[in-house]
């Protein structure tokens, strides 16, 4: 174990994964679901959660075969150091692109909603700088920050969601299957990529005190993540109708602005913006940490800190590859999620097949390197 990263418990991991998965509710996800499947977004998200859980089972089977390694070490042990690194390269690109696109979307959202005269480049740089700083402090620091602010986010988010119920019309969620069974199932398969952060467990497994807690932590994160995303997706359609929800740039923020708590409390979106910032910082820190860990574990780099500035700058550069916020959101929830679903399903399946084929071979990456 690399000592500078620290040790974490299963509870810490569950909270970190839950916040990282659920943070997508603050982006354009509800709008894209409304465009694709109307009011059936919660069903598509449920299908995606089931697919992700199956993929999680495969990951756990691989990790059980390599008790001293994570996914990267398992890939190197099963396929050799060179091919193993190539196998985890798509996972690295996924987390790096996720970090970049999330920074771009959150920064643009902040600019439009709060700081219209502030350059979006500056806002994105600040968000990624905070993420890089957190990652440089280590995994234990990151999960402690997530534990601290999870209570704040939950204590404000749940009442805000409940406060939108008076404006909701459940009739807007029908027909139940939206455009039909096949489109909903197809969207659900793609939505498995919305839970891609559960793969972080395969990277931090060597730093978890009790590996038997990995399954519970990850399934809990997937389940709560589904509840959060399904709730916001359904509320958005119930309040604004499917057609109206599809036109919204910031669905969750628009929901918050629709809340009026009595005669003297009308601007509760200020609380939402605070939650928005916390969720953005934690999510980007987690995905950037994942990208850093993949490189460090793939190339046996003992100190992860020298990698942080380079990957942070790279993520900032990639964040402005899309020419606009709309293009960034489309690239995230259309192109990236489609490709990510192949990684979420394909990589664990391939490694699981290799564990079956190569039974009796070395169980650690170091042993495989010695044979190569």
Q: What domains can be seen in the chain, in order of their start residue?
A: 18-371 (1.20.1740.10)
Q: How far apart are CA 105 and CA 280, in angstroms?
A: 10
What pTM value is reported for the model? 0.92
Return the pLDDT at 253: 82
H-type alpha helices, 137-213 = 139-163, 181-191, 200-204
Return the pLDDT at 265: 55
Percent composition of the chain: helix, strand, coil (DSSP 3-state, to 5): 80, 0, 20
pLDDT tens readout for residues 284-321:
999 999 999 999 999 999 889 999 999 999 999 999 99
Return the pLDDT at 319: 94
Classify 208 as helix, strand or coil: strand
Assess contact for 19 and 282: CB atoms under 8 A: yes
> CB under 8 Å, gap of 24 or more: what pairs does 137-141 form?
138/4, 138/5, 138/6, 139/5, 139/6, 139/8, 139/204, 139/207, 139/289, 140/5, 140/6, 140/7, 140/8, 141/6
Residue spans of the chain under pLDDT 70:
1-5, 260-270, 360-372
Residue 8 φ/ψ, nearest 5 degrees: -130, 160
């Amino acid at each position: 174990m690399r000592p500078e990263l620290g040790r974490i418990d299963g509870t810490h991991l569950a909270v970190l994964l839950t916040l990282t998965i659920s943070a997508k509710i603050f982006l354009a996800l509800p709008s894209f679901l409304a465009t694709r499947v109307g009011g059936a977004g919660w069903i598509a998200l449920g299908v995606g959660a089931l697919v992700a859980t199956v993929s999680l089972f495969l990951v756990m089977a691989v990790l059980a075969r390599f008790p001293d390694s994570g996914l990267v070490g398992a890939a190197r042990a099963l396929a050799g150091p060179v091919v193993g690194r190539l196998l985890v390269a798509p996972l690295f690109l996924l987390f790096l692109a996720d970090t970049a696109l999330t920074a771009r979307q959150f920064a643009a959202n902040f600019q439009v909603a709060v700081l219209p005269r502030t350059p979006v480049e500056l806002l994105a740089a600040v968000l990624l700088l905070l993420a890089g700083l957190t990652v440089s402090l280590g995994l234990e620091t990151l999960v402690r920050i997530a534990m601290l602010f999870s209570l704040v986010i939950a204590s404000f988010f749940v009442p805000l969601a409940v406060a939108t119920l008076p404006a909701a019309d459940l009739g807007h969620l029908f027909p139940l299957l939206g455009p039909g069974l096949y489109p909903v199932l197809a969207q659900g398969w793609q939505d498995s990529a919305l839970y891609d952060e559960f793969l972080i467990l395969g990277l931090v497994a060597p730093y978890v005190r009790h590996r038997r807690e990995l399954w519970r932590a990850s399934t809990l994160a997937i389940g709560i993540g589904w509840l959060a995303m399904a709730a916001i997706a359904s509320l958005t359609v119930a309040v604004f109708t499917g057609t109206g929800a599809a036109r919204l740039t910031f669905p969750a923020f628009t929901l918050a602005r629709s809340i009026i708590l009595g005669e003297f409390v009308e601007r509760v979106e200020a609380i939402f913006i605070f939650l928005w910032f916390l969720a953005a910082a934690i999510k980007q820190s987690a995905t950037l940490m994942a990208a850093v860990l993949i490189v460090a574990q793939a190339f046996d780099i003992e100190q992860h800190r020298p990698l942080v500035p380079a990957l942070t700058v790279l993520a900032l550069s990639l964040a402005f590859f899309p020419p606009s916020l709309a293009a960034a959101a489309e690239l995230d929830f259309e192109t990236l999620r489609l490709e990510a679903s192949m990684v979420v399903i394909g990589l664990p399946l391939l490694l699981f097949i290799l564990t079956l084929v190569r039974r009796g071979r070395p169980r650690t990456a170091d042993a495989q390197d010695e044979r190569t």
